[in-house]
């Protein structure tokens, strides 16, 4: 099989062969250690409850049960909060969400644990739950005082605008549905040590909090992660609670334990994407240019703070999306409700913020009868313009990317064809949606922008590489290995990327915020460069043997496992020979690389700063076909133009764009999470909550990666990729809305909730028809548009 290694080429997935042969080991695939016990949770029966008593006795006498543990059994602190210390491992007094663990049962097999869990006597008094943003806002129950980002003076700007529009838009929640459910194996060691094989995106955080719960030092807890079966943010913070429960069970029983959620439990008990309710007002001129934009972003945070404030912050920092706004006021609130704590999900608030201003762009275009792409291009950032929070935007390229998008989609013809289709079809209508994206890369909590890597070159020239990034399908391992391969001039098969382990890469930031390859790639690059620097003089010596003069050490080339003087490339030393020689000469062949992103900072109180190291730019166009009798939607075509800097691996980046788009498409359309008045999610199984299948693939799915040399980019000129393309999925929503315009009177506002489920679409169709009937305009006797 062909292997390509260089930066910018697309070598195969490092674990690909394991994946396709089934030899990959996820946490639950590792052989079970002898005597392993299994954990089941006993959840709160109500979304909000006063806990009266918990009686473990009946469960304790059930077959196979080793322990029943609750708050009183915690040796350390009953606190698993991170940025906010507001979340107990087991609630005491008051349970805050339906299913919140009140106790755990540890038994010798999963079945016994399940049976016993049902026997634990839980006495609770139901309290009225708060579930919606409106209720929480009315109660004033916010996680922190509202945040603001202000530029110019919107209040004085309105009167100067030719047009002003206002409205309220919501966006829906979303279940992560990573295919591997939450899982942790905890193994007690000697001397009070515990090792956690946790499916987490955040090793250091799990280590810190498990140590806190167990009442031990961080040095006593090791967290080890090989890979995750998908995460998408859902295992950044949300994996911690399960890891801590497993840790507690192992610590108390002195036996290895496994806690693995079933899909049903996972869907009921884990937090999801934050639903938002936002109010906006936008003023613009005749030419479609935004003059003023005021928006209140309200997020439903669920029962504990979790990452809600950071997510809210990112939504505020992306409220401008790709557009320069002279006067802006962005207000953000995250409120507490009795749902499982909502948490990180690809995009981390940005998609919710972007959705509001894209709704505005859509309205501007309709109001003025302008082309929606043109309106967006006119408002797009130009070089050096400032965002509302004061960061200069460098190397923006939206007018160019949008032009490219039009070309790829053959836009003029497409519009014409759609017009023709719509006049020839009574039952189906097509529409176009366009969404540009500007996405800021870096953690907005500046301190998290650090990473380390540990690199060893062994005496045989092979390489062991540990870094803090978590492999979860985004192939951070492949990319980081490519970086090291290119620095050391070795092929990828010489490199083993090790598990992410707190012993080898301590204090690792979560693998999140699209920074995985940037941070860890840079740390690994620095580690490898140190080793390279030490190898150079040895290589110079080796290449100098005989009567040749010694080559300058810093000119020696390292390529494809060969080391040579570029002036005489035919004479070379094998990398393994060099490594062996270096070892014999007692050269240090291990190095630790540390990287911190320069220049990022953000002042939360002032709402100003340069939170992002750089921006990612791109745009998407979707054509949707709406069936007017059922509300079902089919994606006809999708075109995406995405600028990657100098992509480390175009095949990976393309896969990320495609996968993210489909996830965003699901969010914007049929992934719907409704809960009842008691706080129970109604779609809590895979048979009721639907994510896209292969049949939802658009007929044409064209992804154009634009590779550019950029000053404002990261490792080897590349840019992060994970989250931004999620937002492209919103194009599908706007395409549906556009299709509905085909049956509405010109210029009419279309009322379409998000997600645009078939039910929502059909309701919108009916609404349009009724308005028409009321105004006597309905053209056809059978109630269908001509």
Task: Give catalytic residue positions.
Answer: 723
Contacts (CB under 8 A) with other proteins, residues 616-635: 629-630, 632, 634
User: Measured between alpha carbons, how far is 204 from 194 in angstroms, rounded to an integer?
Assistant: 14
Residue 624 binding: pick among ligand FES, other proteins, none (C-beta 5-8 Å cut-off by kind): none
User: Measured between alpha carbons, how far is 753 from 766 in angstroms, rounded to an integer?
Assistant: 14
Contacts (CB under 8 A) with other proteins, residues 315-354: none
Minimal distance, residue 473 CB to ligand FES, in Å: 5
Minimal distance, residue 345 CB to ligand FES, in Å: 16
User: Measured between alpha carbons, how far is 696 from 635 in angstroms, rounded to an integer?
Assistant: 7
Residue 474 binding: pick among other proteins, ligand FES, none (C-beta 5-8 Å cut-off by kind): other proteins
230 binds ligand FES (CB under 6 A): yes
Contacts (CB under 8 A) with other proteins, residues 104-163: 111
Which of 53, 412, 547, 693 touches other proteins (CB under 8 A)? 693
Nearer to ligand FES, 53 or 687 (CB): 687
User: Torsions phi, psi of 671, nearest 5?
Assistant: -80, 105
Looking at residue 747, the DSSP 8-state letter turns out to be T
* Contact in structure between 376 and 398 (CB atoms under 8 Å): yes
Which of 415, 557, 691, 767 touches other proteins (CB under 8 A)? 691
User: Measured between alpha carbons, how far is 546 from 226 in angstroms, rounded to an integer?
Assistant: 47
Minimal distance, residue 666 CB to ligand FES, in Å: 13
**Interacting span for other proteins (CB under 8 A) from 229-237, 321-329, 588-596, 600-608:** 229-237
Nearer to ligand FES, 687 or 709 (CB): 687
User: Measured between alpha carbons, how far is 208 from 502 in angstroms, rounded to an integer?
Assistant: 10
Minimal distance, residue 241 CB to ligand FES, in Å: 23
Minimal distance, residue 449 CB to other proteins, in Å: 25
Residue 660 binding: pick among other proteins, ligand FES, none (C-beta 5-8 Å cut-off by kind): other proteins
Residue 254 binding: pick among ligand FES, other proteins, none (C-beta 5-8 Å cut-off by kind): none
The structure tokens listed for 602 are: 């953000």
234 binds ligand FES (CB under 6 A): no
Nearer to ligand FES, 693 or 782 (CB): 693
In this structure, the strands spanning 163-171 and 194-198 are unpaired
Nearer to ligand FES, 52 or 179 (CB): 179
Count of alpha carbons within 13 angstroms of residue 755, beta-carbon side: 26
Which of 81, 91, 101, 230 touches other proteins (CB under 8 A)? 230
> What residue is closest to ligand FES based on CB?
179
Helix (H/G/I), strand (E/B), else coil: 522: helix
Token match 């349970």: residue?
95
34 binds other proteins (CB under 8 A): no
Which residue blocks in 569-675 are alpha helix, DSSP H?
575-584, 650-668
The structure tokens listed for 202 are: 């955040």
Sheet (strand 183-188) strand order:
65-70, 101-107, 37-43, 257-260, 183-188, 194-198, 221-225, 500-501
766 binds other proteins (CB under 8 A): yes
Sheet (strand 49-55) strand order:
94-95, 49-55, 121-126
Burial class, 707, CB count within 10 angstroms (exposed 0-12 / middle 13-18 / buried 19+): middle
Nearer to ligand FES, 471 or 730 (CB): 471
Calculate the CA dihedral of residues 314, 316, 321, 322 and round it to 10 degrees: -100
473 binds ligand FES (CB under 6 A): yes
User: Measured between alpha carbons, how far is 156 from 158 in angstroms, rounded to an integer?
Assistant: 6
User: Measured between alpha carbons, how far is 160 from 154 in angstroms, rounded to an integer?
Assistant: 10
Residue 27 binding: pick among other proteins, ligand FES, none (C-beta 5-8 Å cut-off by kind): none
Residue 722 binding: pick among ligand FES, other proteins, none (C-beta 5-8 Å cut-off by kind): none
Minimal distance, residue 516 CB to other proteins, in Å: 13
CA nearest to 107, candidates 259, 241, 263: 259
Nearer to other proteins, 17 or 141 (CB): 17
Minimal distance, residue 230 CB to ligand FES, in Å: 5
**Interacting span for other proteins (CB under 8 A) from 240-248, 419-427, 446-454, 525-533:** 419-427
Nearer to other proteins, 109 or 155 (CB): 109
Which of 404, 446, 577, 651 touches other proteins (CB under 8 A)? 651
The structure tokens listed for 652 are: 């990976």
Burial class, 403, CB count within 10 angstroms (exposed 0-12 / middle 13-18 / buried 19+): middle
User: Measured between alpha carbons, how far is 730 from 276 in angstroms, rounded to an integer?
Assistant: 15
Peptide bond into 519 cis (omega under 30): no
The structure tokens listed for 24 are: 């990959």
Residue 718 binding: pick among ligand FES, other proteins, none (C-beta 5-8 Å cut-off by kind): none
Minimal distance, residue 504 CB to other proteins, in Å: 22
- Binding mask 154-193 vs ligand FES (x if CB under 6 A, - otherwise)? -------------------------x--------------
C-alpha dist (Å) from residue 435 to 61, 498, 667, 725, 756: 60, 39, 15, 10, 16
Residues composing the chain: 786
Nearer to ligand FES, 230 or 431 (CB): 230
* Contact in structure between 78 and 214 (CB atoms under 8 Å): no
Contacts (CB under 6 A) with ligand FES, residues 340-399: none
Nearer to other proteins, 181 or 327 (CB): 181
Which chain residues interact with ligand FES by CB under 6 A? 179, 230, 473
């Amino acid at each position: 099989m062909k292997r390509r290694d260089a930066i910018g080429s697309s070598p195969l997935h490092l674990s690909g062969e394991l994946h396709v042969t089934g030899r990959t080991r996820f946490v639950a695939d590792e052989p079970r250690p002898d005597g392993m016990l299994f954990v089941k949770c006993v959840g709160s029966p109500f979304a909000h409850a006063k806990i009266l008593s918990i009686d473990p006795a009946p469960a304790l006498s059930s077959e196979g049960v080793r322990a029943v543990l609750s708050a009183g059994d915690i040796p350390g602190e009953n606190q698993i909060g991170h940025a906010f210390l507001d979340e107990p491992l087991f609630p005491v007094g008051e349970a805050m969400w339906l299913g919140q663990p009140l106790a755990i049962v540890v038994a010798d097999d999963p079945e016994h644990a399940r049976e016993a869990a049902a026997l634990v006597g839980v006495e609770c008094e139901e309290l009225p739950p708060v579930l919606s943003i409106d209720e929480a806002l009315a109660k004033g129950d916010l996680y922190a005082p509202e945040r603001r980002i202000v530029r110019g003076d919107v209040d004085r700007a309105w009167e100067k605008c030719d047009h002003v529009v206002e409205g309220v838009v919501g966006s829906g929640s979303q279940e992560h549905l990573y295919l591997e459910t939450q899982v942790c194996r905890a193994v007690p060691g000697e001397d009070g040590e515990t090792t956690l094989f946790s499916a987490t995106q955040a090793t250091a955080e799990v280590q810190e909090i498990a140590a806190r719960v167990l009442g031990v030092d961080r040095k006593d807890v090791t967290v080890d992660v090989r890979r995750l079966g998908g995460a998408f943010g859902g295992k950044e913070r949300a994996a911690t609670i399960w890891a801590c429960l497993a840790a507690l069970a192992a610590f108390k029983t002195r036996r290895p334990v496994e806690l693995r959620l079933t899909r049903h439990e996972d869907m009921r008990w884990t937090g999801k994407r934050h639903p938002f309710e936002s109010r906006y007002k936008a003023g613009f001129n005749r030419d479609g240019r935004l003059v003023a934009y005021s928006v209140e972003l309200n997020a439903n945070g669920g029962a504990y703070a979790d990452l809600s404030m950071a997510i809210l912050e990112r939504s505020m920092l992306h409220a401008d999306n790709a557009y320069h706004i002279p006067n802006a006021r962005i207000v953000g609130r995250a409120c507490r409700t009795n749902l499982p704590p909502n948490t990180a999900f690809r995009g981390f608030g940005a998609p919710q913020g972007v959705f509001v201003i894209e709704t505005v762009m859509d309205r501007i275009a309709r109001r003025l009868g302008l082309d929606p792409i043109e309106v967006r291009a006119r408002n797009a950032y130009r070089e050096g313009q400032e965002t509302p929070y004061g960061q200069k935007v460098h190397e923006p390229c939206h007018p160019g990317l949008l032009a490219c998008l039009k070309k790829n989609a053959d836009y003029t013809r497409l519009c014409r064809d759609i017009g023709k289709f719509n006049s020839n079809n009574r039952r189906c209508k097509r529409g176009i949606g366009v969404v540009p994206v500007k996405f800021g890369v870096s953690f907005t909590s500046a301190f998290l922008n650090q990473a380390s890597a540990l690199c060893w070159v062994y005496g045989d020239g092979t390489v062991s590489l540990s870094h803090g990034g978590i492999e979860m399908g985004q192939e951070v391992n492949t990319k980081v290995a490519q970086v090291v391969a290119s620095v050391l001039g070795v092929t990828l098969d010489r490199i083993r990327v090790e598990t992410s382990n707190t012993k080898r890469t301590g204090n690792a930031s979560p693998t999140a915020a699209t920074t995985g390859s940037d941070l860890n790639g840079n740390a690994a690059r620095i580690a490898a460069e140190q080793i390279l620097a030490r190898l150079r003089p040895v290589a110079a010596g080796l290449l100098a043997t005989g009567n040749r003069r010694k080559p300058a050490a810093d000119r020696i080339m390292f390529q494809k496992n060969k080391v040579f003087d570029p002036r005489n490339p035919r004479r070379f030393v094998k990398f393994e020979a060099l490594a062996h020689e270096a070892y014999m000469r007692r050269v240090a062949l291990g190095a630790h690389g540390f990287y911190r992103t320069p220049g990022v900072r953000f002042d939360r109180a002032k709402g100003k700063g340069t939170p992002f190291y750089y921006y990612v730019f791109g745009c998407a166009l979707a054509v949707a076909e709406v069936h007017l009798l059922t509300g079902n939607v089919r994606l006809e075509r999708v075109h995406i133009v995405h600028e990657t800097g100098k992509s480390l691996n175009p095949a990976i980046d393309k896969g990320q764009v495609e996968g993210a788009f489909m996830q965003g498409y699901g969010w914007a359309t049929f992934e719907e999470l409704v809960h009842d008045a008691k706080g129970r999610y109604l779609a809590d199984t895979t048979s009721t909550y639907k994510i896209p299948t292969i049949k939802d693939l658009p007929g044409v799915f064209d992804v154009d990666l634009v590779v550019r040399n950029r000053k404002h980019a990261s490792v080897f000129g590349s840019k992060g990729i994970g989250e931004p393309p999620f937002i492209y999925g919103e194009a599908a929503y706007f395409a549906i809305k556009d299709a509905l315009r085909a049956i509405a009177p010109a210029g009419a506002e279309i009322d379409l909730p998000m997600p645009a489920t078939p039910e929502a679409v059909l309701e919108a169709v009916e609404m349009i028809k009724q308005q028409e009937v009321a105004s006597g305009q309905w053209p056809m006797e059978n109630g269908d548009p001509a």
